[in-house]
């Protein structure tokens, strides 16, 4: 921007929207019988393209907001309030301003929640599966969540929609996944409703399959007489979890014939990643693509895949950091991961990758000061845990990072009578693992810079920070564990009742 001298404008006494040379607008709540102003909506003004924060305010009792100018250049106005979601489209408005800009209008509705339990063919809870929601017109899932140790899941912040399907992806479960198929459930989502779903998995049909064919164009030396470590080998990796390995029966390997011919046997139905390697140490590893194997296949031709060009930038809703940031895209379908390094001040990303496939990915950022709010790919915005990529959209990526962290505070009680749990260890478990603090003399504790997500919290007497990172103390008999969602910018107060660490041993 060429000229920015911005201050948040108190809305009391604002006579008309679009006054002066600033940015203004209003937000209303869509409801049966009409609309009403929606106060308390957080409005963030930023410089479009660079992501530099220009101002933050909230709507007044009439749903109005305004920022003082002068403002000159491309901007983005973003709207958010816990428990609400846009009635249609995106949660932001873009514009090129020169003088007065607006009025911008945003219609919100009360967000819906889909929650429930996933059980397998024996009626047992399914742990570490992933539940997806997809509706008519969606190119990929619009919401996604994992199941916890009780098989529970929660999809929150949902807009009204018809023609939707809730499905279960079991591929993160490892070998057990090959024996299960999902039973999708059709749903319609109403504004503000909370629905409980019971999702089931059924036993899958399995078989031992054969694949024959040729590897062409890989530029590798076929196997000769030099010994068992020489020549070229074809590998088939089951696509079941991150990294592409460890599926039903494990990976399969076969030595290529002089003309590149191969015969793989003992495959189970499913998707496989194919690679060819040269020699004992696997030099000249060449990616040959991913294929679905559901029946015996003869005459499959495997060739090296053209690399994708991944390009784009990282944007921030506050002053960007100095130095560099690292973001990662992890395939939720087992196809591996790719990391990006973006450096100040432009934060541009660019990488050529031959081993990526069209599908769904999870965006990760491991730093403590930011979280990924959304990822734009090919002009479509996705939540960070369900980014749909193909060769075309990978060339126009935008990772939007936010510093709008939540804070969680509270008090630990040793028992139902309310006695303070002095110096107990309090642990918070969520998307970034386990973080813990020690409560003070009065049992008070605080976690700062908490990114959005689903969390568990618990407390113990005498446990170490190292011990609470493992599952054993969380699963101890009698241990009290609370579960709750955290939204961006939330201030959460929790009263927690602990169980002494000696119980259940």
- The three-state DSSP-derived secondary structure of 348-390 is EEEEEECCCCCEEEEEEECCCCCEEEEEEECCEEECCCCEEEC
Delimit the domains of the chain by residue range: 3-109, 112-203, 209-302, 308-402, 406-497
pLDDT for the residue 271:
78
pLDDT for the residue 214:
94
Dist CA 261 CA 258 (whole Å)? 7
Same topology between domain 3-109 and domain 406-497: yes
In order, the DSSP letters of 316-344 are ESSSPPSSEEEEEEEETTS--EEEEEEET
Q: How confident is the model at residue 139 (pLDDT cuts 50, 70, 90)?
A: low
Collapse the DSSP code of 10 into the 3-class scheme (helix H, G, I; strand E, B; otherwise coil) and give the result. coil
* Average pLDDT of the residues in 104-114: 89
Is the model's pLDDT at 175 over the cut of 60? no
Dist CA 134 CA 161 (whole Å)? 10
Residues 6 or more apart whose CB falls under 8 angstroms from that of 370 comprise 316, 321, 325, 401, 402, 403
Is the model's pLDDT at 457 over the cut of 90? yes
User: Which tens digits make up the pLDDT trace of 203-245?
Assistant: 665 567 899 999 988 666 554 444 444 578 898 877 643 333 3
Query: Which tokens sit at 367?
Result: 């730093």
pLDDT for the residue 406:
93
pLDDT for the residue 174:
57
Q: How confident is the model at residue 312 (pLDDT cuts 50, 70, 90)?
A: very high
DSSP tally for the chain: helices H, then strands E: 0, 42
Dist CA 245 CA 269 (whole Å)? 15
Is the model's pLDDT at 73 over the cut of 80? yes
- Residue with the bigger pLDDT between 476 and 66: it is 66
User: Dihedral through CA 286, CA 291, CA 293, CA 295, nearest 10?
Assistant: -110
pLDDT for the residue 481:
86
Distances (CA, A) of 376 to 56, 118, 315, 379: 22, 30, 11, 6
Q: Report the topology of domain 3-109.
A: Immunoglobulin-like (2.60.40)
pLDDT for the residue 239:
66
Tell me which architecture the domain covering 308-402 has in CATH. Answer: Sandwich (2.60)
User: Of the segments 17-21, 71-75, 313-317, which one has the largest average pLDDT value?
Assistant: 313-317
Q: How confident is the model at residue 450 (pLDDT cuts 50, 70, 90)?
A: very high
**Which range is least confidently modeled, 15-24, 239-248, 288-297, 359-368?**
239-248
pLDDT for the residue 208:
79
Cis peptide before 105 (omega within 30 of 0): no
Q: Report the topology of domain 406-497.
A: Immunoglobulin-like (2.60.40)
- Residue with the bigger pLDDT between 184 and 65: it is 65
Domain 112-203 has CATH 2.60.40.10: yes
Tell me which architecture the domain covering 209-302 has in CATH. Answer: Sandwich (2.60)
Is the model's pLDDT at 453 over the cut of 90? no
User: Which tens digits make up the pLDDT trace of 349-404?
Assistant: 888 877 777 888 889 887 788 999 999 999 899 989 889 998 889 999 999 999 99
pLDDT for the residue 179:
60
pLDDT for the residue 461:
87
**End-to-end CA separation in angstroms for the chain:** 63
User: Which tens digits make up the pLDDT trace of 404-423?
Assistant: 999 999 999 877 777 778 88
* Average pLDDT of the residues in 481-486: 88
**Which range is least confidently modeled, 36-50, 55-69, 329-343?**
329-343
pLDDT for the residue 210:
92
* Average pLDDT of the residues in 150-178: 78
Of the candidates 223, 340, 232, 225, the one whose C-alpha atom is nearest the C-alpha of residue 286 is 232
pLDDT for the residue 335:
60
Residues forming beta bridges with residue 412, ordered by sequence position: 496
Of the candidates 342, 351, 349, the one whose C-alpha atom is nearest the C-alpha of residue 322 is 342
Rounded to the nearest integer, the mean pLDDT of the chain is 80
Of the candidates 90, 96, 103, the one whose C-alpha atom is nearest the C-alpha of residue 63 is 103
pLDDT for the residue 34:
57
Beta strands 64-68 and 23-31, pairing class: antiparallel
* Average pLDDT of the residues in 42-66: 86
**């008999």: which residue's tokens?**
477
Edge to edge, the sheet with strand 232-238 lists 252-255, 232-238, 270-278, 283-293
pTM: 0.53
Distances (CA, A) of 358 to 14, 52, 139: 50, 31, 11
Is the model's pLDDT at 10 over the cut of 50? no
Dist CA 473 CA 492 (whole Å)? 24
* Average pLDDT of the residues in 253-272: 87
* Average pLDDT of the residues in 176-182: 62
Using H for helix, E for strand and C for coil, what is the string for 134-154?
A: EECCCCCCCEEEECCCCCEEE
Is the model's pLDDT at 88 over the cut of 50? yes
Dist CA 420 CA 411 (whole Å)? 8
Query: Which tokens sit at 326?
Result: 């690292």
Phi-psi region of 431 (alpha: psi -120 to 50; beta: other; left: phi over 0): alpha
pLDDT for the residue 64:
94
Dist CA 327 CA 316 (whole Å)? 13
pLDDT for the residue 240:
47
């Amino acid at each position: 921007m060429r000229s920015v001298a911005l201050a948040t404008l108190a809305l009391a006494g604002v006579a008309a929207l679009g006054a002066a040379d600033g940015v203004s607008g209003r937000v209303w709540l869509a409801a049966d019988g009409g609309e009403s102003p929606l106060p308390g909506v957080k409005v963030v003004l930023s410089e479009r393209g660079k992501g530099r924060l220009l101002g933050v305010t909230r709507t007044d009792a009439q749903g109005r907001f305004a920022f003082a100018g002068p403002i000159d250049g491309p901007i983005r106005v973003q709207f958010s309030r816990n428990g609400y979601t846009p009635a249609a489209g995106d949660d932001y408005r873009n514009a090129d301003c020169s003088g007065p800009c607006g009025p911008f209008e945003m219609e919100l509705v009360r967000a819906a929640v889909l929650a429930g339990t996933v059980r397998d063919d024996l009626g047992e809870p399914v742990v570490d599966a992933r539940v997806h929601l997809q509706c008519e017109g969606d190119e990929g899932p619009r919401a996604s969540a994992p199941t916890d140790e009780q098989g529970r899941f929660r999809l929150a912040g949902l807009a009204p929609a018809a023609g939707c399907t809730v499905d279960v992806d079991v591929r993160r479960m490892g070998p057990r996944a090959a024996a299960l198929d999902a039973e999708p459930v059709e749903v319609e989502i109403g504004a503000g409703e909370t629905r409980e779903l019971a999702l089931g998995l059924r036993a899958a049909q399995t078989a031992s399959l054969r694949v024959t064919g040729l590897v062409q164009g890989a530029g590798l030396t076929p196997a000769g007489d030099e010994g068992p470590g020489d020549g070229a080998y074809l590998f088939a990796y089951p696509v079941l979890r991150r990294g592409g390995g460890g599926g039903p029966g494990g990976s399969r390997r076969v030595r290529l014939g002089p003309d590149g011919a191969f015969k793989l046997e003992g495959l189970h139905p499913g998707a496989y990643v194919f690679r060819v390697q040269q020699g004992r140490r696997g030099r000249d590893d060449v990616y040959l693509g991913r294929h679905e194997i559901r029946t015996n296949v003869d005459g499959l031709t495997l060739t090296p895949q053209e690399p994708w060009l991944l390009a784009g930038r990282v944007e921030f809703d506050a002053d960007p950091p100095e130095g560099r940031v690292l973001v990662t895209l992890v395939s939720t379908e087992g196809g591996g991961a790719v990391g990006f390094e973006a450096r100040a001040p432009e934060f541009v990303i660019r990488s050529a990758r031959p081993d990526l496939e069209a599908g769904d990915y999870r965006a990760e950022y491991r730093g403590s000061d930011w979280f990924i709010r959304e990822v734009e790919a090919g002009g479509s915005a996705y939540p960070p845990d369900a980014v749909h990529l193909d060769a075309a959209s990978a060339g126009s990526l935008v990772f939007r990072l936010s510093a709008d962290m939540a804070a969680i505070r509270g008090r630990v009680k040793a028992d139902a009578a309310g006695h303070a749990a002095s110096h107990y260890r309090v642990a918070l478990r969520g998307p970034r693992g386990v973080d813990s603090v020690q409560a003070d003399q009065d049992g008070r504790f605080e976690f700062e810079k908490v990114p959005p997500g689903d969390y568990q919290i618990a407390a113990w007497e005498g446990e170490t920070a190292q011990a609470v990172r493992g599952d054993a103390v969380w699963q101890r008999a009698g241990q009290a564990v609370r579960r709750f969602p955290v939204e961006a910018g939330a201030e959460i107060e929790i009263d927690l009742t602990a169980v002494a660490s000696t119980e259940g041993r």
